Amino acid sequence: MKEKRKVKRYVKPTTFTQRKLMIETYQKTHNISFSCRKAKISINTFRRWYTRYLEQGMEGIRKPKKHIRKNLGKVPEKYACRIIELKKKNPKWGRRTIASVINQENNNNVISPGGVQKVLERVGLWNKMK
Number of compact structural domains in the chain = 2
pLDDT of residue 70: 63
Residue 4 pLDDT > 80: no
What pTM does this model have? 0.47
Domain of 86 in residue numbering reads as 77-123
Q: Please report the pLDDT score of residue 61 as a whole number.
A: 87
> Which pLDDT does position 38 carry in this prediction?
93
Instruction: Let me know: does 115 contact 75? Beta carbons within 8 Å.
Output: yes
Give 68-115 pLDDT, tens digit per residue: 666 666 888 999 999 999 999 999 999 999 999 999 999 888 899 999
In this prediction, residues 19-39 reach a mean pLDDT of 93
Inside any domain, residue 94: yes
**Is 109 a member of any domain?**
yes
* Residue 40 belongs to a domain: yes
Q: Are 25 and 35 in contact (CB under 8 A)?
A: yes
Same domain, 23 and 47: yes
Residues 86 and 118 in one domain: yes
Decide if 7 is inside a domain.
Answer: no
- Rounded Cα distance between 7 and 95, Å, is 36
Higher-scoring residue by pLDDT: 12, 41: 41
- Does 57 share its domain with 82? no
